[in-house]
Amino acid sequence: MTALTPRIATLALGLIASTAWADEVQVAVAANFTAPIQAIAQGFEKDTGHRLVAAYGATGQFYSQIKNGAPFEVFLAADEATPAKLEKEGEAVEGSRFTYAIGTLALWSATPGYVDGQGKVLKANHYQHLSIANPKAAPYGLAATQVLSKLGLADATKAKIVEGQNITQAFQFVSTGGAELGFVALSQIYKDGKVTQGSAWIVPTELYQPIKQDAVILNRGKDSTAAKALVEYLKGPKAAQILQAYGYAR
């Protein structure tokens, strides 16, 4: 049998070590963070060798699933209250919670020119349907109701509101024509400093409470090397660049 050359032997040992070290992390991701986490996952996997497996949905629904034993190791929520609650209830690793992103709300229409830069279309009230995410399950939906209340439009728009189960469904109602406009996460329509589709009003942050999105390592991820690596990666400069590109602060 022919002996391996030193170079081939080194490569083989490196491959074995990489395969043994690489792991998978199961992550529950708030629907608004779908595009950014997909971009982050590519760099994370390339840089660490770990694989990120994500499920997307409403924060409130994930809370119920986690309480019922869903096999998630890391939770990227759309608010700060839910991870704090899970930590308090003993479902998450104490001290692992941190704010990974601060979200921005936008009023959006799939039709170019429909929404003006000051959101006057909302007060004009000529539309038939206004899409928002369920405010009881999705923080972006709650933020939308806060905006309507502050603008004195809660009563005027009540009969026109169509609720999506989460922010993804709220976006879909608008994109498919089910609603002329709706409140969505800026990250769904924004990339590299500009709105990429339709027309939008980036809602001033003083009209709603800050959408601080917290992450936490859940109990199932307590001893996971991949879970810990993901948290550190989210805190790093490469993730920060992606967040900025999608309109998030940190």
Domain check: are 165 and 228 in the same one? no
Q: Would you state the pLDDT for residue 16?
A: 37
pTM attached to this predicted model: 0.79
How many CB atoms lie under 10 A from the CB of residue 22?
Answer: 14
Instruction: Please tell me the predicted confidence (pLDDT) of residue 21.
Output: 53
Q: CA-to-CA distance for 96 and 70, rounded, in angstroms?
A: 19
40 and 53 both lie in a single domain: yes
pLDDT of residue 58: 86
Same domain, 62 and 184: no
Could you give the number of structural domains in the chain? 2
Asked if 202 and 221 sit in the same domain, the reply is no
What is the C-alpha radius of gyration for the chain, rounded to an integer number of angstroms? 21
Please check whether residue 2 lies inside any domain of the structure.
no
- Pair (91, 119) in one structural domain: no
Q: Give one word for 185, left, alpha or beta, with left for phi > 0 and alpha for psi -120 to 50.
A: beta
- pLDDT of the residue at 51: 97
Question: For residue 58, what are the domain limits?
Answer: 22-102+211-245
Coil, helix or strand at residue 234: helix
109, 192: one domain: yes
In a domain, residue 171? The reply is yes
For the chain, list the strands marked E by DSSP. Answer: 24-30, 51-57, 74-76, 98-103, 105-109, 130-133, 161-164, 181-185, 190-191, 194-195, 199-202, 211-217
CATH of the domain at 55: 3.40.190.10
- For 128, the token pair is 């038939």
Is 10 inside a domain boundary?
no
Residue 250 inside a domain? The answer is no
Do 45 and 129 have their domain in common?
A: no
Residue 226 in any domain: the answer is yes
**Same domain assignment for residues 121 and 40:** no
Q: Could you tell me if residue 196 is inside a domain? A: yes
pLDDT less than 70: residues of the chain: 1-21
